[in-house]
Amino acid sequence: MSLEFRRLTEEDYDNWVQFHDKAYGKGYVLADRDFLHWYLRKDNKYETLIALDGKAIVGVYCALQAPLRVKDRAFRFCWFVSGMVLEEYRGQGIGQTFVKMLLDNFDACGIIGFNEGVRKNYIRFGFKQFGFKTLRRFSLVIHDSAYSLIEEKRRNEMMRFLRTSTSTLHVDHKIDQVTSFSESILGCFTDMRMKAYIEREPEYMNWRYFQNPIKYEIYAIQGKTYIVVRHERFYPTQYFATRIIDLAGLPQYAAELASFIINRSRERRDAFIDFSVTGNYYEQMLKELGFSELTGDYYGALPQVSSPMEYRPNEEFICLGSKHFPNIFDDIEFDDLYFTRGDSDRDRLNPIKQGVEFDR
């Protein structure tokens, strides 16, 4: 079978929609043209790859471009997101071809969130797996309604593990609501001295959070720390939670912003707060604020997806690789990474199939 591999173009849009209708059902968010333009197109072109059998798209590998910095050096980088091959075309090396092409096109590539079935592809191409560790998930119960959101088979044991936070926390510094990112706010990331991370450039951050169809709440202690959160409803219930999507700044200042969010969440009777992040930079701070780390079978016992609410196993694995700079991650360990839900595609728009609202 002879297939054509190339970048996605605007002329492919109708076939792109047909592919996603077949692969995921109607209403998949990447079939929305405006969202597609915002999310995957940069400088009026796509790096996303498609495989065609004749005129029909039979496989896609989406590339989400981001500014990666490793030990004070910038790299042209993309995340692999939403890769899919139609069932009847699997087992023909299409995924391997996509990975090879993107490694050729970028200085480095990475992915957060994949299952055991595709891991071998990344191992084959030399991606560093960081000990097969995943994003760490920290959660804080704000209201007893959180217990009704726990997966039923885990509910009793998790109710003994998680305790409802009841105290109002003290905040010393003035908290400002952020309406755009600037160098003065983003400079707080520098003091963290992480070795590998998505660079918090103003242009990139304003694209990510203020041009996004998702509405985020963003607060800062000017020049010291900022926090990005999302208020989510867990359909079909009437319960809400607050997700910390991104956080940067030294722990003593970040703790104040987190305290501010805890107080705010309590006022609006959120069920819980959670934060997913690599490494251990904020581990002590989060535990002092009452957060518990969800590990093993507990990781997905509180729903990670909200529209509709869904329980998923922990597949938030991380790997990074490069063909052009094969040694750049050799001395980078899991605790040297700083990635949050705001990086990669761990927080993005998702449609509710039964209606017109959007959430994740």
Q: In a structure prediction context, what are the per-residue pLDDT tens digits for the chain, which is 360 residues long?
A: 689 999 999 999 999 999 999 999 988 999 999 999 999 999 999 999 999 999 999 999 999 999 999 998 999 999 999 999 999 999 999 999 999 999 999 999 999 999 887 888 899 999 999 999 999 999 999 999 999 999 999 999 999 999 899 888 989 999 999 999 998 888 888 889 999 999 999 999 999 999 999 999 999 999 999 999 999 999 999 999 999 999 999 999 999 999 999 999 999 999 999 999 999 999 999 999 999 999 999 999 999 999 889 999 999 999 999 999 999 999 999 999 999 999 999 998 876 543 434 433
Q: Which of 103, 132, 161 is the last residue of a domain?
A: 132
Residues 265 and 159 in one domain: yes
Number of other residues whose CB lies within 10 A of the CB of residue 157: 13
Residues 147 and 245 in one domain: yes
* pLDDT recorded at residue 155: 95
Question: Which CATH number is 262's domain given?
Answer: 3.40.630.30
Q: Identify whether 333 is part of a domain.
A: no
Residues 149 and 14 in one domain: no
Where in the sequence is the domain holding 13, given as residue range(s)?
A: 4-132
Residues 50 and 158 in one domain: no
Q: Identify whether 8 is part of a domain.
A: yes
Residues 109 and 220 in one domain: no
Tokens of 225: 């720390």
Number of other residues whose CB lies within 10 A of the CB of residue 169: 16
Q: Please, which contacts does 335-338 make with residues 24 or more away whose CB atoms are closer than 8 Å?
A: 335/278, 335/279, 335/280, 335/281, 336/194, 336/195, 336/196, 336/279, 337/130, 337/194, 337/195, 337/196, 337/197, 337/278, 337/279, 338/192, 338/194, 338/196, 338/197, 338/277, 338/278, 338/279, 338/281
Q: Which of 132, 149, 176 is the last residue of a domain?
A: 132
Q: Which of 132, 160, 182 is the last residue of a domain?
A: 132
Residues 236 and 274 in one domain: yes
User: Structurally, how many domains does the chain consist of?
Assistant: 2
Residues 15 and 90 in one domain: yes
Q: Identify whether 175 is part of a domain.
A: yes
Residues 90 and 218 in one domain: no
CA distance 154 to 298: 7
